[in-house]
Amino acid sequence: MIYDSILDTIGNTPVVKLNHIAPQKQTVFVKVESFNPMASVKDRLAIAIIDAAKKSGELKPGQTVIEATSGNTGIALAMVCAAKGHPFVATMVETFSIERRKIMKALGAKVILTPASERGSGMVKRAEELANKHGWFLSKQFENEANPRYHRNTTGPEILRDFAGRDLNFFVSGWGTGGTMTGAGEIIKLARPETQIVVAEPENAALLSGKDWSPHKIQGWTPDFIPKVLNKDIADKFVPVSDNESIEVAKKLAREEGIFTGISGGASLAACFKAASDAPENSTFCVMLPDTGERYLSSPLFEDITDESDEQWLSNALGA
């Protein structure tokens, strides 16, 4: 297919059945958002916010855009801004993966790091300060209604279309801004009220479950506040997942299904497996996989994976 712009390739991501690691007597599909042009679900958020702001006149031609981001939103906004002629600045907690910074910079963005001690709130505050000082457009992903609205218009309908004529008993998503779980969840629930909306959370920061926030390794998920766009009431069940099980499930998905996702994708799938353990047999699950494992090369997801030759394995295992 031929497209007029890279932005025209956002969305319509594939839904893929798991053939090897799904729980017995359960059917699990994953929606692979790494098929978006910058390899994450946040491409949807970025095009939604920028298009809405340009249409309303809030974003002027050539105006600088700024956002607080764990990485994927910043990468997506950097792409959209490059394609539409806007400089982009990201504020980002210093602990998020280095590759995310480099990708944003490769797309022409500037990256301002904030101290880890200030958490997600710190990067948001810094973005607000810079926007006010310099007259930049602050995209406000955590409170911009264009975020969940785009998921109501695209992600949710895509899933409903793909599952037309099929069972869809559970929809599973994590939350960062809350845009995906809210927008897609609302539309799925509206069209198929019997579908259960399962929301995964880091067990160390399960805010929707009423727990306190503490640091966790699931990048992109659960800042130290509940975003304004998030509709908690859409959830039927909250499932806490640990850092370690999220990482292990992501690795297992890559090794045994050939699907390469990040820690957040592993976390969503881990929550699915937990929900499946007490779900009726022969239930069907659709699980959001937000991004690609390539965003995590410097993270704990890869800490036991080396770049050395496997010559020793060859000698030991095969006697060669």
260-307 pLDDT, tens per residue?
999 999 999 999 999 999 999 999 999 999 999 998 888 888 888 888
Distance, CA of 260 to chain centre:
14
Return the pLDDT at 41: 97
Strand order in the sheet with 196-202: 15-17, 27-32, 284-289, 170-173, 196-202, 237-241
Q: Which amino acid is at 205?
A: A
Q: What is the pLDDT of residues 26-49, one digit of tens each?
A: 999 999 999 999 999 999 999 999
Q: What is the pLDDT of residues 62-117, one digit of tens each?
A: 999 999 988 899 999 999 999 999 999 999 999 887 898 999 999 999 999 999 99
Return the pLDDT at 95: 84
- With a pLDDT cut of 70, the percent of the chain lying above it is 99
Q: Which amino acid is at 127?
A: A
Q: Report how far residue 295's alpha carbon sits from residue 301's, in angstroms, rounded to the nearest whole number.
A: 10
Mean pLDDT to the nearest integer, 177-202 = 97
Residue 256 pLDDT level (bands cut at 50, 70, 90): very high
Domains and CATH numbers, the chain: 6-35+154-302 (3.40.50.1100), 42-138 (3.40.50.1100)
- Annotated catalytic residues are 42, 264
| pLDDT of 232 higher than 90 | yes
Return the pLDDT at 320: 55
Return the pLDDT at 312: 84
Interior CA angle at 6 toward 4 and 12, to 5°? 100
| pLDDT of 217 higher than 80 | yes
**Per-chain mean pLDDT for the chain:** 95
Q: Which amino acid is at 83?
A: A
Q: What is the pLDDT of residues 102-145, one digit of tens each?
A: 999 999 999 999 999 998 889 999 999 999 999 999 999 999 99
Residue 319 pLDDT level (bands cut at 50, 70, 90): low
Higher pLDDT, 53 or 299: 53
pTM: 0.93
Query: How many other CB atoms are there within 10 angstroms of residue 158's CB atom?
Result: 19
Pairing of strands 284-289, 27-32: parallel
219: left (phi over 0), alpha (psi -120 to 50) or beta: beta
